[in-house]
Amino acid sequence: MTKKLKNISGPFADIAIRLRAVETYVGMSQKEFSESAGVQQKSMSQWQSGDFRISIQGALKLRERYGISLDFIYCGNIDALPTRMANELSSILRDSNSSKSNDSGDLQAP
């Protein structure tokens, strides 16, 4: 589970990690995750690389399909999510961060 969240870099790595955490939470492959939301897999791959920022249109599609808030996607505000989802995503993000060495703390779940 945490392996998918490792080694993400780039200016938007924090968003990429959250997107991958949601993908892990719903238990889908990247292809399934993007198709289910009506997003091109190429776009999802770019967003999850950390090199490209998710578009507002893409974020809105993910919000509509998976119930994740824009505050969580862009800012990492886990309190903006439904309680069960927030708890599970916190665990996924925490597990990811605990498996990293030399982490600066920037990408930890709040």
What global pTM score does this model have?
0.83
Tens of pLDDT, residue by residue over 28-55, are: 999 999 999 999 999 999 999 999 999 9
Angle between helices 30-37 and 13-26 (to 10 degrees): 90
Q: Mark out the alpha helices in the chain (DSSP H runs).
A: 13-26, 30-37, 41-49, 56-66, 70, 83-98
d(CA 19, CA 97): 15
Q: Which residues have a Cβ under 8 Å from the Cβ of 109 and sit 6 or more positions away?
A: 76, 78, 89, 90, 93, 94, 97
Question: pLDDT grade, residue 99 (50/70/90)?
Answer: low
pLDDT tens readout for residues 14-30: 999 999 999 999 999 99
